[in-house]
């Protein structure tokens, strides 16, 4: 922690990370340092669109795989139903994970940020 001599009265105060405490003889005031303020978060629209597509494809494959496994459709080779279900689950999981992070970040829940979603703009 750094100590600063901020005013003419030679009083020393501590400098918190996002603001600076200025002590004068008549009053104490808080001055924000603008260089430490965070800019508004950049929303990764492409990554959210990709997560939405993965979610929709995964959901469709899970539904089709479950219907094939249940025998709703007339299937001649029942050994091909389980891979459809497994691929649906593999595609569904990353989509729902990133959509959940995007939703919580948009609502402002603590601990969630758009920085947690990988950005494909590079």
Convert the pLDDT of each residue in 55-76 to its tens digit: 999 999 999 999 988 888 877 7
Q: Compare 10 and 39 and report the one with higher pLDDT.
A: 39
pTM: 0.65
The SS3 call for residue 84 is: helix
pLDDT level of residue 41 (50, 70, 90 thresholds): confident
Q: What is the pLDDT of residue 16?
A: 47
Cα distance between residue 64 and residue 16, in whole Å: 57
* Average pLDDT across the chain, whole number: 77
For the chain, the structural domain boundaries read 3-36, 45-116
> Average of pLDDT values for 9-20?
50
């Amino acid at each position: 922690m750094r100590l600063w001599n901020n005013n003419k009265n030679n009083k020393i105060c501590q400098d918190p990370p996002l603001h600076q405490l200025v002590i004068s003889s008549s009053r104490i005031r808080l001055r924000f340092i603008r260089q430490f303020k965070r800019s508004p978060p950049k929303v990764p629209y492409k990554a959210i669109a990709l997560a939405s597509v993965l979610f929709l494809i995964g959901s469709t494959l899970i539904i089709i795989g479950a219907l094939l496994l249940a025998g709703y459709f007339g299937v001649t080779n029942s050994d091909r139903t389980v891979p459809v279900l497994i691929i649906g689950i593999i595609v569904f999981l990353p989509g729902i994970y990133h959509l959940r992070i995007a939703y919580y970040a948009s609502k402002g829940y603590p601990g969630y940020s758009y920085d947690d979603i990988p950005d494909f703009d590079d």
